[in-house]
Amino acid sequence: MRPIRLRTFSRLFLAVLQVFVGLTAIVGGAKLVSDPSGGAVGVPLEWLSGSPFSDYSVPGWVLVVAIGLGHAAASLLSAFGHRQFGRAAIVQGGLLAGYIAVEVWAIGWQAALQPLYFILGLAQIALGFFAQRKREAGCEDVPDLPGAAPGECAGEPYR
């Protein structure tokens, strides 16, 4: 059995994570856009009192476009091993963590999913930095997991 390279595993794990975040953002954002009162997702409009938003339409559009479609595009880069997939992960992870930070600032800690998605954003940033650092160091891959010599790079090229 051929060993799974750490870079390949982390790249595919990142793609799956990005698909998950992208799909949930598109579905949740579309529900907020279609029902700006928040009733479709079970969030009361009162949570927005004191925030810059009068309804959930703007946060819904941001979820669909910036988070959802952005993660969908980044997942394709990750899945196919594009040379910029690390940078896309850093950007999308930053957008997700930033969106959650603004959400918590605007409405406070209201749902258990807020810290989960914040952590998912930070995980994308970390994986993106890991991938980008390896690429910029001139190492085409990270060592194979079983039996690889330390500092040895396997030969899976970036595209």
The 10 Å Cβ neighbour count of residue 99 is: 19
**H/E stretch holding 133:** helix 113-136
Q: Is the pLDDT of residue 55 over 60?
A: yes
The 10 Å Cβ neighbour count of residue 24 is: 17
Q: Is the pLDDT of residue 154 over 80?
A: no
Task: Give the tens place of pLDDT for each residue, 85-117.
Answer: 999 999 999 999 999 999 999 889 988 899 999
**Range with the largest mean pLDDT of 1-10, 24-33, 47-56, 130-139:** 24-33
Question: Residue 88 corresponds to which tokens in the numbers above?
Answer: 């896309």
Tell which residue, 8, 29, 30, 141, has the closest CA to residue 80: 8
Domain locations along the chain = 6-136
Contact 159, 16 (CB under 8 A): no
Q: What is the reported pLDDT for 132?
A: 80
